[in-house]
């Protein structure tokens, strides 16, 4: 059975919190994006601070790890071979009316394109996750299980990639960068064959980011 959320309770500073991971849609397409949210929400009153980092080398948020399996097969981390060189960091203040919601793209942490090799066209499977927020100086480790439904639908995957490309090219300015980051996390060959066209985008920043992603995919 698929889950939309998994959470645990813990104490940060003097505040009691509920922390975990959730998704807007527990049903995903093999080879497509899976967007998660890491959240910390206070239980009752008080305030707490959370140390948040980036991972400059891996081009993703820092402090997270995911153990991922599909049909009994382990799906590895595409950036496991890269060293941790740190990145931007800082504290965020959390209150009852200002919870912490951090968007994550699971594809940046797991080779979800493997679903196209494991599943046959039209076949469904279950993606088993162990979602971890690694321990920091001001917070203990957070680890929860999450189960997502996965189905191979190549036509729907191509349509989704097309929608993301359209958003990058013509969408509202505030949606273009998030759409590009999701798009470039898709490493399945059919998806790459579509978004590689953005390497010739008239937007120099988009073209440069796409070329960088293509070089990493080739490597």
Express each pLDDT in 79-108 by its tens digit: 999 888 889 999 999 999 999 999 999 999
Does position 172 have pLDDT exceeding 80, yes or no? yes
DSSP code of residue 120: P
| Span 139-146, average pLDDT | 93
In percent, how much of the chain has pLDDT > 90? 87
* Position 167 confidence tier, pLDDT thresholds 50, 70, 90: very high
Confidence band for 217, pLDDT divided at 50, 70 and 90: confident
Decide if pLDDT at 196 tops 90.
yes
Give SS3 for 192.
helix
Distance of CA 167 to the CA centre of its chain: 19
Write down the pLDDT at residue 118: 97
Distance, CA of 18 to chain centre: 20
Q: Are 5 and 127 a contacting pair, CB within 8 Å?
A: no
d(CA 148, CA 35) in angstroms, rounded, equals: 11
Query: Which pLDDT value is given to residue 1?
Result: 63
pLDDT value at residue 156: 96
* Interacting residues of 215 by C-beta distance below 8 A, sequence separation 6+: none
* Chain centre to alpha carbon of residue 21: 11
Of the pLDDT bands very low, low, confident and very high (cuts 50, 70, 90), residue 137 is confident
Q: How many CA atoms lie within 13 A of 146 on its CB side?
A: 31
Q: What is the mean pLDDT of residues 28-52?
A: 94
What does DSSP say about strands 35-42 and 73-75: parallel, antiparallel, or unpaired? Answer: unpaired
Confidence of residue 9 (pLDDT cuts 50, 70, 90): very high
Residue 2: the pLDDT is 72
Q: Closest Cα partner for 49 from 102, 101, 100, 94?
A: 94
Q: What is the pLDDT of residue 207?
A: 96
Note the Cα 95 to chain centre separation in Å: 25
pLDDT recorded at residue 97: 93
| Packing angle, helices 204-218 and 173-184, rounded to 10 | 10
For residue 64, how many other CB atoms are within 10 A of its CB?
Answer: 21
Q: How far apart are CA 66 and CA 134, in angstroms?
A: 10
Q: Is 80 exceeded by the pLDDT of residue 219?
A: no
DSSP strand pairing (15-23 vs 35-42): antiparallel
Tokens 């740190």 map to which residue?
86
Could you read off the pLDDT of 41-84 as tens digits, one per residue? 999 888 999 999 999 999 999 999 999 999 999 999 999 998 88
Q: What is the pLDDT of residue 139?
A: 82
Structural domains in the chain, sorted by start: 5-152 (2.60.40), 155-218 (no CATH)
Q: State the pLDDT at residue 136.
A: 82
Helix-, strand-, coil-residue percentages of the chain, each rounded to 5: 30, 40, 30
């Amino acid at each position: 059975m698929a889950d939309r959320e998994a959470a645990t309770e813990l104490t940060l500073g003097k505040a009691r919190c509920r922390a975990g991971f959730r998704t807007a849609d527990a049903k995903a397409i093999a080879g497509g994006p899976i967007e998660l949210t890491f959240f910390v929400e206070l239980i009752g009153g008080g305030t707490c601070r959370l140390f948040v980092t980036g991972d400059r080398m891996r081009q993703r948020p820092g402090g997270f790890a995911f153990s991922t399996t599909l049909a009994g097969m382990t799906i590895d981390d595409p950036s496991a071979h890269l060293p941790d060189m740190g990145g931007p960091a800082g504290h965020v203040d959390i209150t009852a009316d200002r919870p912490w919601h951090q968007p994550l793209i699971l594809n940046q942490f797991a080779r979800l394109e493997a679903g196209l090799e494991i599943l046959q066209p039209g076949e469904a499977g279950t993606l088993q996750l162990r979602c971890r927020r690694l321990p920091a100086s001001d917070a203990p480790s957070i680890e929860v299980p999450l189960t997502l439904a996965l189905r191979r639908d190549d036509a729907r995957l191509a349509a989704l990639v097309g929608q993301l490309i359209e958003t990058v090219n013509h969408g509202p300015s505030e949606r273009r960068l998030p759409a590009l980051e999701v798009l470039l996390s898709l490493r399945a060959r059919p998806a790459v064959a579509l978004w590689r066209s953005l390497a010739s985008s008239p937007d120099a920043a988009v073209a440069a980011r796409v070329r960088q992603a293509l070089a990493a995919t080739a490597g």
